[in-house]
Chain A
Amino acid sequence: MTDKDLIKAIKNNDQQAFKQLVENNQQLVVNICNGFLHNIADAEDIAQEVFIEIFLSVNKFREDAKLSTWLYRIAVNKSLNHIRNNKKHKILNSIDNISGSDKKTENDLPDVNASQPEKIIEDKEQSEILNYSINTLAKNQKIAFTLNKYDDLSYKQISEIMGVSLSSVESLMHRAKKNLQKKLFHFYQKK
C-alpha cells in the first residue's frame, strides 16, 4: 500500500492501515524526536503522541500533501514543545531544591553501574556540552541543523518541513555551524 492508500484507509477508520503506517514510520519519528530530546524514553513517548495526532486529525490531511513532511512537522513541534514544558518543570524543581525539599529526580542519579565509569562520564560530559550548544542555537538554526545531522535529511526535505526556501535552509545551516563551533570552542577554553 502506498502512503496515499494508507491515509485513505485510515480516513475510513481502518485500524490495520493505521498499524501499518505506524510500523512503516516509527523508526523515522523516534529518530526525529530523539534528535531534539536526546532521551529514548522521552522520544518514544513523544513519537506515540505524534501518531495519535495523525490518527485524530487524519481527516484534515490534504490528499496532495506528503505524509513524511506532515509526520516530521508534527514530530518537530511536539519535541520542541516538550523541551519548553520541561524547562518550566526544571525551574519548578530547582525552586523545590532551594526551598529545602530533598526530592531527587531521576536526572540526579549518577551512572554507577557502568563498567568504565571514567570513560562514561567523559562521554556524558561531551554529549552534554554538544546538546547544550545545539539547544542554545536560534530556534530555526537548531531545527535545520538537527534534521540534517541527526536524521540525514536533505536541505530540500528540510525546506519542505520548515516551509522555507532552499536558500534559507542553506543560510540557516551555515549560521548554525558557525555558531555551534563558536559555542564549542568556548567550552574547550574553560576546560
Chain B
Amino acid sequence: MQKMKCKSIHKKLIFFIDGELSSNKNQKIEEHLSTCQECSKLYQELKSSLNVIEKEKNPKTNPYLYTRIKQRLDDINESSSKPIFAIQQIKLFQPALVSFIIGLGIFIGISIGNFYPLENNNIAESQSEQYYINDLQQEHVEYFLLNNE
C-alpha cells in the first residue's frame, strides 16, 4: 500500500515543485514527504537538479556585442561586393545564352525528325496501348487523333 502511494507521489513531484497542484494535493504530498524518507530524498534531488536552471539564468552579456556585430556586417559587405558583380555579369549574358540554347534545341529536334521519320509511328502505337492498360488515366489527345484516321 505504501509503495503504491510512493509511486503516485513520484509522478507528481515536478508539478509539486512548480506549484501546479491544488492545495489539497499539496498538503497530502507534504504530509507524505514528512514521513517517507525515500520520497523525501527524491524530492530533494529533483529540486536540486531543477535549481541548476536558476543558477544558469541571466548570464552577464558582453557589452561589446554591437561592435562585433558591426565588424561581421562590414566583413560580409566587403566579401560580397565581388560576387554580386559577377552575378550581374552573368545576368547580362543570360538572354543571349537562353536564345542560343533554344536555337540549339530546335536544330536538334528538326534533325532527329528528319533522320528518324518511322520512329513517330512507334510512339503513337505504344501510347494507344498504354490507354487500355491504365483505365484511370485521362484519355490521351493523341489517341483520338489516331482513331479519327
Give residues in A with beta carbon < 8 Å to B.
15, 19, 22-23, 26-27, 30-31, 34, 38, 40, 43-44, 47-48, 51-52, 55-56, 123, 126-127, 129-130, 149-150, 177-178, 180-181, 184-185, 188
B15 at the interface (CB under 8 A from A): yes
Could you tell me if B49 and A150 are in contact, using CB atoms closer than 8 angstroms?
Answer: no
B residues in contact with A26, CB < 8 Å: 61, 65-66
Given A48-B69, A52-B76, A127-B52, A180-B59 contact (CB < 8 Å): no
Could you tell me if A44 and B49 are in contact, using CB atoms closer than 8 angstroms?
Answer: no
Number of interface residues of B (CB under 8 A): 29
B46 at the interface (CB under 8 A from A): yes
Partner of B62, one of A44, A149, A184: A44
Q: How far is the CB of B49 from chain A (nearest CB, A)?
A: 5
Secondary structure dominating the interface of B? helix
A residues in contact with B8, CB < 8 Å: none
Given A150-B53, A178-B14, A48-B45 contact (CB < 8 Å): no
Partner of B68, one of A23, A34, A48: A48
B residues in contact with A22, CB < 8 Å: 65-66, 69
Could you tell me if B61 and A44 are in contact, using CB atoms closer than 8 angstroms?
Answer: yes
Q: How far is the CB of B73 from chain A (nearest CB, A)?
A: 6
Could you tell me if B18 and A34 are in contact, using CB atoms closer than 8 angstroms?
Answer: no
B48 at the interface (CB under 8 A from A): yes
Given A26-B65, A47-B65, A177-B14, A184-B49 contact (CB < 8 Å): yes
